[in-house]
Amino acid sequence: MTDDKWEDLKENVREKFGIIEEKSKPDIMTDDLGNEIKGEKEIIVFDGPMGKMMVTKTKRPVIIDKKSHYHKTQAGKALTEYVVSDTEFTSKVEAFTWDDIAQDWEVIDTRGDSISF
């Protein structure tokens, strides 16, 4: 999702439902060698058609290569190192509903479907 479409989504949610909470936080992924891949996660929480809902957008650099580092021993496992782009980014959007029983967020499965607000 592009930044413009994300802003449009936030504006639609704000107009239709009102945003309860809006925040941004760092999203750090680590490869097997301990290298950090820094991204950013934007979060909006609102009362939607399915109750309390949350939509997140995670933006990270594109992984352009994976390097495997092997050990010579028989039981050694391969460690993966990610090479990321400095200029290209990827975004992932996920939607969640609040589960009152579990007191936690549940992912809305949208594979093959679309969700609109």
Distance (Å, whole) CA 63 – CA 83: 6
Would you say residue 117 lies in a domain? no
| Chain segment 17-42, per-residue pLDDT in tens | 999 999 999 999 998 888 899 999 99
Would you say residue 74 lies in a domain? yes
pLDDT-derived band of residue 116, with 50, 70 and 90 as boundaries?
Answer: low
pTM: 0.81
- Residue that has been written with the tokens 């989504």 in this structure: 9
Would you say residue 20 lies in a domain? yes
Total tally of structural domains belonging to the chain: 1
Tell me the two tokens of residue 93: 């959007």
